[in-house]
Structure 1
Amino acid sequence: MTRLITHLRHVDLAVPDFAEQRDFYAGVWGLEEVATDTGLSFLAAVGSPEQYVVRIREAAEKRLDLVAFGAETPADVDALAARMRAADVRIVREPGTLDTPGGGYGFRFFDLDGRTIEISADVAVRAHRKLEEKESVPVRLSHVVLNSPDLAATRAWYERHLDFALSDTLSSPYMGDVMHFMRCNPQHHSLAIAKGPHASLHHLSFELRGVDEYMRGSGRIIRSGAKKVWGPGRHLAGDNTFTYFLDPHGNTVEYTTELERLDEDTWHPSVYDFSQPEVTDQWGTANPMNELVAKESFNDVDRGVFVAPPV
């Protein structure tokens, strides 16, 4: 399948306590600050060629600033922008040169729920390295999960406008569909849409080198005093490990590894009943999924809906 979107680049967060958030991600979480500006911090993953995977901005209110995806060429960026205009999607920054680390060419628009999305190409590759055994810091940004009050409509929007494909669905006899796992490449999901009471960030996930590094990293975060929400365990959909924590501003962040890669020509989506404990955790090692665990990932109402970030 030919897609104009290639991969997830970075997710940008705004918070009132900039210093605390910066210290968490550049410290215990294991990212590396690669650039700063007034009230801005750009954080990279050691093993990733992306210039940065998280941007933190100082702001009066907590919000999700934007989610950025990559495209192969500037021509693909222009083609996507033309597609958005034809569909009356609101563009908030026309295609042009980017002034963020690595430069490139991109544009921004609002998705169905009012989140700012950026698409870019020709961003310079950052010098990076292969992580060694026992290095328990993120290799790269794995995926992002977004809460939506209209799960089906948001899934359809991403399928129609950005060519995302459905990999699997979580459902239950009591709640119906609760999460759609969406892919833009053979990785099981770079994006997932979760059923929530409002538009917000559900969680950010970071890939570690392997299971041993994932466990060492999870233990390091637990010992730091950060609140653990759920895990360690292993999901059925995507077959990836998970441990979820809260960052200092209440955003859920995940350590994971071994997320499944699919043969897209033969893959058929499944619907998994997440009320079955082996679906949420194959290992049976995590604390049980319950309403309190789920509520943490609802997050606060996003104050950035249909308001483009200033930078």
Structure 2
Amino acid sequence: MKPPFNYRKLAYAALDVTDLDASVRFYRDLVGLDLVQQDETVAFLRCSRDHHNLVLYRGAVPGLRRAAYEMAGAADLEAAFEFHAARGLAPRWLDEAACRVLNQGRTFRVREPASGLTFELFDRMTQLALPYRHTVTKIARLGHIVVGTPDYDAARARLMDDFNFAVSDFVEGRFSWMRCYPNPLHHTFAMGLSERRHLHHVNFMVTDVDDIGEAMNRMKKAGVEIVFGPGRHLPSTSIFLYFLDPDGMTIEFSFGMEEIPAGNGRLPRMLEMHPNTMDIWGSSPAPRFGKGGAIGDGDD
């Protein structure tokens, strides 16, 4: 049975960071996000009219706290909750106070057991009056989140069967690029086989190929470690640059992405396990690429 609900988009990533002030400076001044609000324990940043597209929490262990998706509407949110409950996933609604803190409408969280990742689903978010203003990088949107898990096959099946994620491309038994149906972007989530559960990277899509080159030089001047690229991915065709945040978590800028329309899009492609699948230009990632960051418990 196909899950009876649809998504609008990937809305935000929530990260645990060990030094909140240092991370805010990094994501604001070097990545180019707009700081919306901050207190001693949490900071909300954006790259759109949404109240937030990245939430940073002060934490002892850096990592991905949760991945949040906006549903197509209130009926889709209700259907998702009922479907997840029927599948034994024990979804839980946030109370009104917690939703107000997040500037969101009705919201629930549910843990995908094979990856350990908490997903947050909601129907609306506060829209800010002033548009997001580009500073150092012309960010188009939060693009995708990628994780690793030793229970790859089980997690892949669960995301397809219970979360209504559609596979765009895959490396057999190793990696899947997935879109939140019917969003057409080649992937808003991806997952790979790994020895442990961990964050691989968080991506922001940029509007101009020059943003990639400018970011490379800006990061080098700031002493930020570049761990992969510039290069071009085979699966999505995007040009990429990966670098590390202050906690060693991998962040990606990418330009360009294939779109697969709902209903009449192509079938998933099986890609070969070859270095050129990740970069058709032939570069290789550094040892720290995609290694930093745990999978957190999901709650505030």
- After superposition, residues 99-118 of structure 1 pair within 5 angstroms as 99-112=100-113, 113-118=115-120
Q: Is 2:79 aligned against 1:79?
A: yes
Kindly indicate whether the alpha-carbon contact (under 8 Å) linking 1:180 and 1:194 is maintained by their aligned counterparts in 2.
yes
| 2:38 aligned partner, one-letter code | T
1:66 Cα deviation after fit: 1.1
Segments of structure 2 that go 5 or more residues without pairing to the other structure are: none
Aligned residue for 2:271, secondary structure, equals: strand
Kindly indicate whether the alpha-carbon contact (under 8 Å) linking 1:29 and 1:137 is maintained by their aligned counterparts in 2.
no
Distance 1:253 1:32 in 2: 16
CA RMSD of aligned residues (A): 2.3
Distance 1:29 1:78, change over 3 A: same
1:261 Cα deviation after fit: 0.9
Kindly indicate whether the alpha-carbon contact (under 8 Å) linking 1:146 and 1:199 is maintained by their aligned counterparts in 2.
yes
Q: Aligned residue pairs: how many? A: 293
Kindly indicate whether the alpha-carbon contact (under 8 Å) linking 1:17 and 1:58 is maintained by their aligned counterparts in 2.
yes
Distance 1:205 1:231 in 2: 14
Provide the residue aligned with 1:243 in structure 2: 241
1:3 Cα deviation after fit: 4.3
Aligned residue for 1:64, secondary structure, equals: strand
Provide the residue aligned with 2:28 in structure 1: 26
Q: Is 2:174 aligned against 1:181?
A: no
Per-residue CA shift, 1:54-87, capped at 9, x if unaligned? 1111122223211100112222211111111101
Per-residue CA shift, 1:40-64, capped at 9, x if unaligned? 100111xx23221111111222232
Report the TM-score, using the length of structure 1 for normalisation.
0.86
Distance 1:130 1:103 in 2: 18
Q: Is 2:295 aligned against 1:299?
A: no
Distance 2:155 2:74 in 1: 26
Distance 1:73 1:96 in 2: 18
Distance 2:176 2:26 in 1: 29
1:14 Cα deviation after fit: 1.2
Distance 1:10 1:253 in 2: 14
Distance 1:200 1:128 in 2: 35
| 1:238 aligned partner, one-letter code | S
Distance 1:224 1:63, change over 3 A: same
Kindly indicate whether the alpha-carbon contact (under 8 Å) linking 1:31 and 1:137 is maintained by their aligned counterparts in 2.
no
Provide the residue aligned with 2:267 in structure 1: 268
Kindly indicate whether the alpha-carbon contact (under 8 Å) linking 2:30 and 2:136 is maintained by their aligned counterparts in 1.
no
Provide the residue aligned with 1:174 in structure 2: none
Distance 1:276 1:34 in 2: 39
Provide the residue aligned with 1:208 in structure 2: 206
Distance 1:296 1:217, change over 3 A: closer
| 2:66 aligned partner, one-letter code | L
Q: Percent identity?
A: 27
Provide the residue aligned with 2:68 in structure 1: 68
